[in-house]
């Protein structure tokens, strides 16, 4: 790492240690989508998601993190030892069935592909 990077990281660590960072935020990549999250946020994730209710998970794809006086930008993601974002699954429910219909014009080609179950999940995020 360059000297300027280490200097910036040490300043950020001092702000966090002295609890002067303000409200922290992060941009994370989950299930093909990006979410801007802060502490105590609730977001909905559509699609298949393996964790169950009450599971603590660590979000590893953090693209950007920041506070009142600083912003850390990843290229494309931040190193895992630099930023840690934890989340708790608070609810998991099943949504409606989605039907996908394929047709090619004038070819007598029609297919119906039904996805039986998709899951919507609400996750409580806490950045640390």
Respond yes or no on whether the N-terminal peptide bond of residue 119 is cis (omega within 30° of 0): no
- Residue appearing with tokens 């029609």: 110
Distances from the Cα of 63 to the Cαs of 25, 29, 37, 85, in angstroms?
A: 11, 7, 11, 11
The domain limits of the chain are: 3-127
Name the more confident of 37 and 126.
Answer: 37
Residue-wise pLDDT for 34-79, tens only, equals 999 988 888 888 777 788 888 888 999 999 988 888 888 888 999 8
Q: What is the pLDDT of residue 22?
A: 74
Give me the DSSP letters along 42-107. EEEEES-----TT-EEEE--EEEEE-SS-EEE-SSS--TTT--EEEEEEEEEE---EEEEEEETTT
Residue-wise pLDDT for 68-110, tens only, equals 888 888 889 998 888 889 888 888 776 665 677 778 888 888 7
Under 8 Å between Cβ of 124 and 42:
yes
């Amino acid at each position: 790492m360059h000297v300027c990077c280490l200097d910036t990281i040490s300043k950020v660590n001092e702000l966090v240690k002295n609890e002067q960072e303000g409200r922290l935020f992060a941009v994370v990549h989950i299930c093909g989508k990006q979410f801007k999250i802060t502490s105590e946020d609730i977001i909905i994730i559509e699609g298949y998601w393996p964790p169950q209710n009450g599971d603590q998970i660590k979000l590893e794809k953090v693209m950007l993190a920041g506070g009142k006086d600083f912003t850390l930008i990843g290229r494309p993601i931040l190193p895992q030892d630099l930023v840690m974002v934890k989340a708790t699954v608070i609810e998991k429910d099943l949504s409606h069935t989605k039907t996908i219909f394929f047709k090619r014009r004038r070819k007598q080609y029609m297919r119906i592909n039904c996805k039986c179950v998709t899951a919507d999940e609400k996750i409580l995020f806490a950045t640390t």
